[in-house]
Amino acid sequence: MNRTVYSIEGKEIRNIELDDEVFNLPINDDVIWYAINNELANKRQGTASTKDRGEVHGSNAKPYKQKGTGRARRGDKKSPLMVGGGVVFGPKPRDYSYSIPKKAKRLALKTILSLKVQNDILKIVEDFSIDSGKTKDIVKILNNLGNKERTIIILNDDDHKIKRAGNNIPWLNFLSYRRLRAHDLFYARNVIVLESAAKSLNNFYGKTNVSEGEAGE
């Protein structure tokens, strides 16, 4: 499929050929959900913890006598029924992370890219850098390319200057074509792919790449 390449001024300058195996797949909602939930689970710290009645500090003595008070029988102050007592079935530190097949993760990322193309959210832009590293310079480019909403820029190389320029913009994130994240990509309102990154995506996820590799991990 052919897509237009835009200049940093927002003008159409040429066309680029995108691999249908990467940018023109049928939408698979299940695999997208699978990949996003995996990423969110892997990010969980799992440090929540509560004390059960055996861990609460306190006396084992009965709070009041068994009979004659007219109140319910109480074993000790550490009972879950008492204020300050233990917690029943409360959370304990645990590892929520799990792995999914690489093929499933790759399919999810390709499906999301295809979804963004179909919704006309993905835009191919000529390669650029911010030599000054200043936020105002990248904001000027972004104003020419789209509105100020949740934006992802997919880079071909790890450009520290462009990342430095966009570091102060809360609605802007950067991703490498080798390390895409399904959650960030799916919820982006604008996806800007540098021309060199688009070519790399063709090779990395397309038919020409015979090895599975690692993506988005």
pLDDT tens profile 162-214: 999 999 899 999 999 999 999 999 999 999 999 999 999 999 988 655 444 44
Please tell me the predicted confidence (pLDDT) of residue 214: 45
Which residues are CB-neighbours of 23 under 8 A, at least 6 positions away? Answer: 1, 3, 110, 113, 114, 117, 122, 201
Distance in angstroms (rounded) separating the CA atoms of residues 61 and 49:
26
Residue 195 lies in a domain: yes
Question: Residue 1 has what pLDDT?
Answer: 85
> Once rounded to an integer, what is the mean pLDDT over residues 51-65?
89
Residue 85 lies in a domain: no
In the predicted model, is pLDDT for residue 5 greater than 80?
Answer: yes
In a domain, 148, yes or no: yes
Q: Is residue 37 part of a domain?
A: no
Spatial separation of the C-alpha atoms in residues 75 and 83, rounded to whole Å: 14
pLDDT > 90 in the chain, percent: 63
Answer yes or no: is 50 within a domain: no
- Per-residue pLDDT at 209: 56
What pLDDT score does 208 carry? 53
Domain of residue 23, CATH code: 3.40.1370.10
Mean pLDDT, all residues of the chain: 89
pLDDT at 64 over 90: no
| Average pLDDT value for residue range 16-39 | 94
Percentage of residues in the chain with pLDDT exceeding 70?
A: 95
Q: Is residue 174 part of a domain?
A: yes
Q: Mean of the pLDDT values across residues 58-68? A: 88
Q: Could you tell me if residue 82 is inside a domain?
A: no
Tokens, residue 19: 């691999």
In the chain, how many domains are there?
Answer: 1
Are 176 and 215 within 8 A, CB to CB? no
- Residue 210 has what pLDDT? 45
- Whether residue 58 is predicted with pLDDT greater than 50 in this model: the reply is yes
Question: For the chain, where are the alpha helices, taking DSSP H only?
Answer: 20-23, 29-43, 102-118, 135-145, 160-166, 182-187, 195-205
Residue 62 covered by a domain: no
Least confident of 73-82, 102-111, 135-144, 208-217: 208-217
- End-to-end CA distance of the chain: give it in Å, rounded: 28
**Predicted pLDDT of residue 155:** 94
Identify the domain containing residue 119 by its residue range. 2-28+100-205
